[in-house]
Amino acid sequence: MSAIVITVDGDRLPARAGMTVAAALIAADRPELRRSPRAGTPRGVHCGMGHCFECLVTIDGTPDRRACLVEVSDGMTVETSR
């Protein structure tokens, strides 16, 4: 488990190689990832296994990536839409 650094909404955060982006965000106490489409309510990780699409974030410039499926890598850039 090597320590790495990712950038989330401009902030540099520590993470461990191999953990998911969702886990890195939760470990950094950033549970809110986006707002719901109609009511605009805060949303975070829900199913944690790729089928609910609640945890969509932009990763290294690619939008609509599921944070619960993608593993972090050193220097990764994550943008939430909170």
Q: Does 37 bind another protein (CB under 8 A)?
A: yes
When binding is defined by CB under 8 A, the residue of 7, 9, 13, 16 that contacts another protein is 16
Q: What is the CB-side half-sphere exposure of residue 11 using CA atoms within 13 A?
A: 10
d(CA 10, CA 16): 18
When binding is defined by CB under 8 A, the residue of 5, 11, 14, 42 that contacts another protein is 42
d(CA 56, CA 64): 5
d(CA 59, CA 55): 12
Q: Does 69 bind another protein (CB under 8 A)?
A: yes
* Residue ranges binding another protein (CB under 8 A): 1, 16-20, 22-24, 26-27, 29, 31-33, 36-39, 41-54, 59-60, 62, 64, 68-71, 73, 76
